[in-house]
Amino acid sequence: AAGVIQSPRHLIKEKRETATLKCYPIPRHDTVYWYQQGPGQDPQFLISFYEKMQSDKGSIPDRFSAQQFSDYHSELNMSSLELGDSALYFCASSPLETSEKYNEQFFGPGTRLTVL
Amino acid sequence: GENVEQHPSTLSVQEGDSAVIKCTYSDSASNYFPWYKQELGKGPQLIIDIRSNVGEKKDQRIAVTLNKTAKHFSLHITETQPEDSAVYFCAASRDYKLSFGAGTTVTVRA
């Protein structure tokens, strides 16, 4: 079965640089979520999109922005990177609102971001 | 916001024994409670979930129970196998976004 695709899988950046993470949801999933997971920690919700509109916002820094495109893929843009931004970034997707499993979230393999 | 507490933080069991992980949540409006298994270097994998209109759900060796009154839910893994070794996260949701517990590292000893 198709899964959530994230790219790149690994990314190394210097402080103050920018980074763009991409997420391709499971086909026919229209909701995308972004999570940040620090070492030894649980995933923290950043932001979500439903039908290309921002649907909810969590602890996402102002330096970060995201959007969902017409093909439902999403990109997380991170600027002025700081050492503390080093983490695993996961994207998850959910089925259509009309599905009985509409709030099940399926996670991608993640992007490991290292800021030097 | 929602606050989810998870216990224990580590759990070591002998192969074939059962493992139980417990979580409590704070927001009585939460209505969806998934459990995720995360192996090293991988994304969380949804293994079972329960909705607030159900008290118990079972899928082969895995079962989840929910007590809405007490605001707690539990994961039960029976006949544990070495491949069950991983970090397990509980989560609670009322508006689609998930609030996770801190995780339980489960080690199954052969």
DSSP state of B30: -
d(CA A3, CA B71): 32
Cβ–Cβ contacts within 10 Å for residue A27, how many? 9
State the residue for tokens 């339980």.
Answer: B104
Instruction: Tell me how close the Cα of A90 comes to any Cα of chain B, in angstroms.
Output: 7
Q: Classify residue B26 as left (phi > 0), alpha (psi -120 to 50) or beta.
A: alpha
Contacts of A105 (CB under 8 A, 6+ apart): A33, A92, A93, A94, B34, B46, B98
B54 or A37, which is more confident = A37
Average pLDDT over residues A65-77: 96
Which pLDDT score, from 0 to 100, does residue A99 have?
A: 63
Q: Please, which pLDDT band fits residue A102 given cuts at 50, 70 and 90?
A: low
| Angstrom distance (rounded) from CA A27 to CA A22 | 15
pLDDT in tens, B47-101: 999 998 889 999 999 999 999 999 999 999 999 999 999 999 999 998 788 999 9
Q: What confidence score (pLDDT) does residue A79 get?
A: 97
| Size of the A and B interface in Cβ pairs below 8 Å | 51
Which residues, in sequence order, are bridge partners of residue B11? Answer: B106
Judging contacts by C-beta atoms under 8 Å, the chain A residues touching residue B46 are: 104-107
B53: Cβ–Cβ under 8 A, 6 or more apart, which residues? none
The percent of residues above 90 in pLDDT, for chain A, comes to: 81
A79 touches chain B (CB under 8 A): no
Residue A21 with chain B: CB contacts under 8 Å: none
Q: What's the pLDDT score for residue B54?
A: 84
Segment A39-66 mean pLDDT = 93
